[in-house]
Amino acid sequence: MKNSLTPIRSGMRSGTQWFLRAFTLIELLVVIAIIA
């Protein structure tokens, strides 16, 4: 969690779409984990 700020800052500059995709994938995994 400490290194979570670095990808966000780098994502704001370039590769924002990749960051959003990764974030959505993690969010989906969390939702599935909660449901399961």
Q: What is the pLDDT along the chain (36 residues), one digit of tens a residue?
A: 555 666 666 656 666 777 788 899 999 999 999 998
Closest CA to 19 of 28, 30, 8, 32: 8
Number of domains in the chain: 1
Q: Name the residue range of residue 8's domain.
A: 2-35
pLDDT of residue 12: 62
pLDDT of residue 32: 95
Tokens representing 15 are 């590769």
pLDDT at 7: 60
Instruction: Please state, in angstroms and rounded to a whole number, the distance separating the CA atoms of residues 20 and 8.
Output: 10
What is the 3-class SS of the chain, one letter each residue?
CHHHHHHHHHHHHCCHHHHHHHHHHHHHHHHHHHHC
